[in-house]
Amino acid sequence: ISRVGKGTFVSQPKIHHELRELTSFTEEMKRRGSGSSSVVLQTTDTQANVETAQLLQIEPKTPIFVLQRIRMADARPLALETAHLNPVYCPNLFTNHDFRTDSLYRVLREVYHLHLVWANQWIEARLPDSYEQKHLNVKQHDPVLSLTRVTFNEHDLPLELVRSVYIGKHYQLKTTLRMEKSNP
C-alpha cells in the first residue's frame, strides 16, 4: 500500500473470526493455517473478586487460577488473554503444562476430561488501557475489541471466565444472523 508522503508499507491481513462455534485461540489459528504461540505473563493462584465470582458462580474470595498470555499469530501479537479457572475442575493446572505452546482447551479436555459445551460472550469496542498498550504494542487511540466469555460444561456449570483484548486493526469478528421463524 502506498500513501502520499508516507512511503510504501506492507499491511498485515486481518484475522477474520466467525462467531459460530466454541474454539480455542490455538484451534482457530491452526484452522486458518497460522502458527500460534503465547508469551505467558502470569500463572497465579489468587482469590476471585466479586465480579469474577459471580460469573464463575462461586463465592467471592474462592481460590482460582489465573493464566494471562499474549496470544501470537505467526509471531505477531494479536491479543492479551486472561483466563480465570476454578481449581476444583483442574487441580495442578500449572504444574505439567507449557502454556507458551499448549492449548488451555486441549489440556482441559484431554487431561482433565472436561466437556466445554457452550459459552456466553460479550464483545465491545474500546480504547486500550496503559497495561494493554504496553503488552500489545498499541497506542492510546488504537481501538481494541474486548471480549468476555464464560464457558460452561454439559451440566451448565461455568468452567472458565476469559477476558481477551484483541488489536482492532488485526482482528475482525463475523456472525451470521437469520430471521427467526414466526408463527402466523
Distance, C-alpha 9 to centroid of its chain: 29
Half-sphere exposure of 183 (CA within 13 A, CB side): 0
Q: What digits encode the pLDDT tens for the residues 99-147?
A: 998 889 999 999 999 999 999 999 999 999 999 999 999 999 999 999 9
Q: Is 167:144 a contact under the CB 8 Å cutoff?
A: yes
pLDDT at 43: 96
**Residue 137's beta-bridge partner residues?**
none
Query: Whole-model pTM?
Result: 0.81
- The 10 Å CB-count burial string (b at 16+, else e) for 29-43 is beeeeeebebeeeee
pLDDT at 184: 60
**Residue 126's beta-bridge partner residues?**
144
Q: What digits encode the pLDDT tens for the residues 36-65?
A: 678 999 999 999 999 999 999 999 999 999
Q: What digits encode the pLDDT tens for the residues 65-104?
A: 999 999 988 778 889 999 999 999 999 999 989 999 888 9
Q: Closest Cα to residue 165, out of 184, 147, 139?
A: 147
Residue showing cell 460444561 = 153
